[in-house]
Structure 1
């Protein structure tokens, strides 16, 4: 059983909390939203972001120091626009044994990858905590509902990535280890382009005869080759 802190209880943070709770892990969750805190604490559900799925057993808090106390894994389920501010807040509370996992998608200010920006913050504070990124085709309500979901967990320390994949994989949430977090983040962004293009093909099906599964497969293979 792992002891996990999830910082950010939006739909994806709440979804991973639910999956890991059901798998027997001890999970804390931090939020700045009073209504989310009260909903989880009083009713065992996040009515705002994931109302159809229970998170009974999730220990919610609005204090970062409480969230990080006694855990081994710190999961950053924070929007890319504010994640670096939260990293600044957690740095004083990090201890050497904490492993960080970044779930954020997008770019940090200055068009940097988020993992690069986080590592810069850690280095500047003389913190040597290992950082991993989790990326993949993950739709929160599906994952929370038990739909089989796969993702990549990548860290420059491959042994950490393998340990995280082994520890955090559940029956329906399957993590694959990798040692290239930068490549994982870039591919995570690139796959969205392919997905959008495949969606355009679905639109073509409704307006004429050009769109079809053959074209969608061709686009998928072209994207796979480019990646």
Structure 2
């Protein structure tokens, strides 16, 4: 297939943004990077680009949008959000924030089992691009699809986004599990029970339950919870080793979005009466209210019940 070349603007020059830029460059697209710490103006980077990719951290989403709102930003530009997180003030996802700010622009979510350092090395991977605007999603699919990066499309942006966001909290629990050397059986039980918890939250917020069995849900859950490359996994592992959260975050390369997500998720769960037993113990652990041993014990002592009583998709 002869795919036309596009100018692609990437906002954020961290490992993830850089990796996405490399993929687009290798597919013969003209990639322009912007960072709030860089010398290039935001206007010059996005002006000619029909595709604008946001790979900034969760805390950088709203400030970046504020800068773009000051520019002449045409409604035909496709906005791709590759950020995983929840806004602490509104509990909204990045795509919801982008769509509210630019209601006429197509917004596409890019998410999947994509450990940035593996992508940067050119190792094979797959991802999902999701949007209510299928034409926009298919254009983004064409830009990134390659012989080492398989790209799928779906029409459930909120489910795709929440899969990548919620698994970061579970990855902290997984790191605790490995840090305490609890074994493969315990970790398998943790991940299996985490999936219906993610589905419960997602469907409550309007996502399709089926999405969580795909790459952006189960796929990302497996990758992130079983790799020391995951920053969220590193947080949990460090806590299990007796380190303080501040000490871990100070030495972490990049942002562990699961820490903020856990705080926002519990706030949301309390308001909406959503059962999130794993996330709740992670939240208590991050706040220093319990030890890793107490968190595991609390989960093991929950009331007995049928396996599928809380999974409704």
TM-score, structure 2 length as denominator? 0.56
Look up the match of 2:298: none
- Tell me the secondary structure at the aligned position of residue 58 of structure 2: coil
1:7-65 per-residue CA deviation (whole Å, 9 max, x = no partner) reads 1212211111112112221111112324xx5xxxxxxxxxxxxxxxxxxxxxxxx1112
1:96 correspondence with 2:56: no
1:29 correspondence with 2:33: yes
Classify 1:179/1:31 alpha carbon distance in 2 versus 1 (closer, same or farther; 3 Å).
same
Q: CA deviation at 1:151?
A: 2.3
CA distance in 2, matches of 1:184, 1:24: 27
1:184 correspondence with 2:160: yes
Q: CA deviation at 1:87?
A: 1.4
Look up the match of 2:190: 219
Query: Does the CA-based 8 Å contact 2:132-2:156 persist in structure 1?
Result: yes
CA distance in 2, matches of 1:116, 1:12: 21
CA distance in 2, matches of 1:31, 1:194: 30
Look up the match of 1:135: 111
Q: CA deviation at 1:67?
A: 0.8
- Could you list the runs of 5+ residues in structure 2 that have no partner in the other structure? 200-313
Look up the match of 2:310: none
CA distance in 2, matches of 1:220, 1:71: 40
Query: Does the CA-based 8 Å contact 2:12-2:33 persist in structure 1?
Result: yes
1:203 correspondence with 2:179: yes
Look up the match of 2:23: 19
Match of 2:55 among 77, 80, 86: 77
- Tell me the secondary structure at the aligned position of residue 180 of structure 2: helix
TM-score, structure 1 length as denominator? 0.76
1:149-197 per-residue CA deviation (whole Å, 9 max, x = no partner) reads 2222111122322332233122222222121111122211222233333
Q: CA deviation at 1:139?
A: 2.3
Match of 1:114 among 84, 89, 94: 94
What RMSD in Å do the two structures reach over aligned CA positions? 2.0
Which one has the bigger helix percentage? Answer: 2
Look up the match of 2:214: none
CA distance in 2, matches of 1:192, 1:31: 24
- Tell me the secondary structure at the aligned position of residue 53 of structure 2: strand
Q: CA deviation at 1:130?
A: 0.3
- Tell me the secondary structure at the aligned position of residue 107 of structure 1: coil
CA distance in 1, matches of 2:138, 2:189: 33
- Could you list the runs of 5+ residues in structure 1 that have no partner in the other structure? 38-61, 206-210
Query: Does the CA-based 8 Å contact 2:24-2:143 persist in structure 1?
Result: no
